[in-house]
Structure 1
Amino acid sequence: MVHPLSARGQLAASRVMQLAIVGILLVGLWTRNVAVVVNAALSLAVTVLPAVLERDWDIPLDAGLTLWLTTAVLLHAIGMLGLYSSVPWWDHLTHTLSATVVAAVGYTTARAIDEHSDAVYFPPRFLFVYVLLFTLALGVFWEVLEFAVHGLSDVVGIDAVLVQYSLEDTLVDLVFDAVGAVLVSLFGTTTLRSAVDTLTARLAGSSTDESR
């Protein structure tokens, strides 16, 4: 993924987005909107994941990937302020972008295992199908989670923190999940090269430690 910003600029943009999510969290607290608070808090937690991976697992993500991840969760948090219901295409945008993140995780993991182990080989066509199915599987899980949370909220009598509008909406969401997976498979492999190399090196280091 080509960015007009330098690595430092991308990290700065990520920090600004984190502050924006904090602002959304404060808005949720001020308005006592449980859905906004929960989703903003989870989004904020996701943005610190790159730092946790680098600190605890020695897997640094480059600035572009961190910005990619942060953008996805920020748009979701913004959507909870009302854009999901007032802007018809906002849900499609966030699902596509979130799906690219999921697809990136699936691709990076599979590709790193492929390069690390001589016993494993994933042909390009298989890897394409794998990324698509991996993303759709996580998409289905998310839709089931939305359905379960919405049903539980109705039983308990509280506002749902995740909203499922209809079966048609669910199917459309999965279509855009597939679009995100295809975009990563076709155009994201170069962007993920550094992440694959980093994870491959981490796997090699773990194997060396275990053999001692």
Structure 2
Amino acid sequence: GIYLKDTHVVLNAIAAFGITFVPNVLTRKYYISLDPSLTLWITLAVFLDALGTLSFYETVARWDHLTHALSASVIAAAGYVIIRAIDIYTDDLYIPPRFMFVFILLFVLAAGVIWEILEFLTDEMVVKFEMEAFLTQHGISDTMRDMLFDLLGALAVAAWGTAYLSDISYRIARRIESFSASRNEK
């Protein structure tokens, strides 16, 4: 990106690089370790998106679809883990498993809508301020395909990922409990 003087590639690489530190921060600062497959899942989604900025989005068929589905699955997993940890931690909240399935889908679709709005606003800014595009929207059909692949990623997690992600939810709930107990002691 620096060599090509491409702001989009540089910004995407910086964001991707920063996200790869999330598992390490969770482990070192919050004592929540992620198993290697979960870390690989997050890193792979970020890596493929960053790799796409080096023209893979334009030259490799369905690259955008792959990255949308994979990124959506990571967002679905994060949403599930957080809400499930809260559900485990507090007796005041009970989320039935069937609703959790719907929650995951709605959570990812909401995140996808926000992303598509950002793409739209970026396109508008690019035109208005004569800037170089760093997020691009290619019309309503592109937006709908993106949302469809977001939904597919969410469906995969809602259908199979919840059993796989329960362990991390319990670890986070225990960490919330210990953090809450330490705060109450002070």
CA contact (8 A) 1:54 1:61 kept: yes
Q: Give, in angstroms, the shift of residue 162 of structure 1.
A: 0.9
Where does structure 1 differ by over 3 angstroms across 4 or more consecutive aligned residues? none
- Tell me whether 177-186 or 152-161 shows the greater mean CA deviation: 152-161
Equivalent residue runs for 1:68-83 within 5 Å: 68-83=41-56
Percent identity over the alignment is 43
Q: Give, in angstroms, the shift of residue 149 of structure 1.
A: 1.4
CA contact (8 A) 1:114 1:122 kept: yes
The one-letter amino acid paired with 1:81 is L
**Aligned pair partner of 1:163 in 127, 136, 148:** 136
2:168 aligned residue: 195
1:16 aligned residue: none
Q: Give, in angstroms, the shift of residue 204 of structure 1.
A: 1.1
- Tell me whether 75-84 or 47-56 shows the greater mean CA deviation: 47-56
**Aligned pair partner of 1:175 in 143, 148, 158:** 148
Q: Give, in angstroms, the shift of residue 193 of structure 1.
A: 2.4
1:154 aligned residue: 127
CA distance in 1, matches of 2:4, 2:48: 19
Q: Give, in angstroms, the shift of residue 57 of structure 1.
A: 2.3
Unaligned runs of 5+ in 1: 1-27
- Indicate whether 1:58 and 2:31 are aligned: yes
CA distance in 2, matches of 1:123, 1:197: 16
CA contact (8 A) 1:103 1:184 kept: yes
CA distance in 1, matches of 2:32, 2:173: 10
- Indicate whether 1:136 and 2:109 are aligned: yes
RMSD across aligned positions (CA): 1.2
The one-letter amino acid paired with 1:61 is L
1:108 aligned residue: 81
CA distance in 2, matches of 1:196, 1:75: 26
Unaligned runs of 5+ in 2: none
Q: Give, in angstroms, the shift of residue 191 of structure 1.
A: 2.1
Cα deviation, 1:126-175, whole Å, max 9, x if unaligned, reads 10101100010001001111111121122222211111111110011011
CA distance in 1, matches of 2:127, 2:8: 14
The one-letter amino acid paired with 2:155 is V
CA distance in 1, matches of 2:30, 2:136: 34
CA distance in 1, matches of 2:87, 2:169: 10
